[in-house]
């Protein structure tokens, strides 16, 4: 187990702004496979085959079937103690922002409010043509589904490889992260560049970076503290002890 007291000593004491960035690793203890881990979702497919506009255009049925399979895998997943600790952080600090790369909806299920889903949400579909959006609470009858408003194809409301981020959202995240006294990076490999950039830029503005990951990632080389532990086990302990030290 980590030496929690040494870590608490290193954490900033005067804290007004807190940021959290999560990746699929935080959901792995809720039973959801990560993308690139040994049990990863990518193990049977290459991302380029599925999570791209080209893949969808070429074979919308395969892409919808893959997302439907993922929804079936995650529909009974419950937030774990790491998700719950992040909700407690949000309630404790006046200035808090959670940015997730996850599309599983578990942070929202846990009760996180000040939340940005950088890569969208697997439980939402949107029309490829008009502004129609819907929540997919039940299994899709006909794949690929058509827009009830205009008849065009619906697509998963997620960000695919090769698609661009909403720059307004990125700017909002960057300006908040730059003000953060501490940013927690939890369960991300750092394989996707933009989130790494957001965190690194914030560190250059003075943010203290704490990474929780069961193995080294692309964040580890610059994180101020690296906690090589499972998030659901270590984050609740870290949060409890740090919160007590802040009182
Ligand atoms: N606790 C902490 N970290 C964990 C745990 C755990 N219990 N289990 C796995 N991890 C770590 C792994 O070591 C890995 O570094 O979580 C990370 C998961 O990395 P990826 O599978 O690459 O997922 P992520 O970083 O979220 O991927 C980013 O890439 O595929 C795209 O859009 C997709 O949002 C995703 C993005």
Distance 27 CA to ligand 1 centre (A): 9
pLDDT mean across residues, the chain: 94
Residue 35 near ligand 1, beta carbon < 6 Å: yes
Residue range 4-31+79-119+165-246, CATH number:
3.40.50.1220
At 43 the pLDDT is: 61
38-76+125-158 under CATH 3.40.50.2300, yes or no: no
What CA–CA distance (Å, rounded) separates 52 from 151?
Answer: 22
pTM for the model? 0.95
**What is the mean predicted confidence (pLDDT) over 160-176?**
97
Q: Count of CB atoms within 10 A of residue 210's CB?
A: 23
Nearest CA to ligand 1 atom 4: 25
- Which of 133, 96, 103 lies closest to 117 in space, CA to CA? 103
Express each pLDDT in 112-142 by its tens digit: 999 999 999 999 999 999 999 999 988 888 9
* Domain residue spans of the chain: 4-31+79-119+165-246, 38-76+125-158
What CA–CA distance (Å, rounded) separates 99 from 11?
Answer: 21
In the predicted model, is pLDDT for residue 1 greater than 60?
no
In the predicted model, is pLDDT for residue 239 greater than 80?
yes
At 2 the pLDDT is: 65
What CA–CA distance (Å, rounded) separates 202 from 78?
Answer: 31
Residue 181 near ligand 1, beta carbon < 6 Å: no
At 201 the pLDDT is: 98
Ligand 1 atom nearest the C-alpha of 23 is 26
């Amino acid at each position: 187990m980590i030496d929690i007291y040494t870590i608490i000593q290193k954490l900033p004491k005067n804290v007004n702004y807190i940021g959290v960035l999560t990746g699929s690793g935080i959901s792995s203890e809720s039973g959801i496979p990560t993308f690139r881990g040994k049990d990863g979702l990518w193990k049977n497919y290459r991302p380029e085959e599925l999570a791209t506009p080209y893949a969808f255009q070429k074979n919308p049925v395969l892409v919808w079937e893959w997302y439907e399979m993922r929804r079936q895998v995650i529909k009974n997943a419950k937030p774990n103690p790491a998700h719950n600790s992040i909700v407690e952080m949000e309630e404790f600090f006046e200035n808090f922002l959670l940015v997730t790369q996850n599309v599983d909806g578990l942070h929202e299920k846990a009760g996180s409010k000040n939340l940005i889903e950088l890569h969208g949400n697997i439980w939402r579909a949107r029309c490829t043509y008009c502004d129609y959006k819907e929540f997919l609470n039940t299994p899709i009858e006909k794949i690929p589904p058509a827009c009830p408003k205009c008849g065009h194809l619906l697509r998963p409301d997620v960000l695919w490889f090769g698609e661009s981020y909403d720059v307004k959202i990125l700017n909002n995240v960057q300006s908040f992260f730059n003000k953060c006294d501490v940013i927690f990076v939890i369960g991300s490999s750092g394989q996707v560049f933009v989130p790494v950039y957001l965190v690194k830029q914030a560190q250059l503005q003075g943010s203290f970076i704490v990474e929780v990951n069961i193995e080294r990632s692309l964040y580890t080389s610059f994180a101020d503290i690296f906690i090589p532990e499972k998030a659901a086990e270590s984050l609740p302990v870290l949060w409890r002890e740090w919160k007590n030290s802040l009182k």
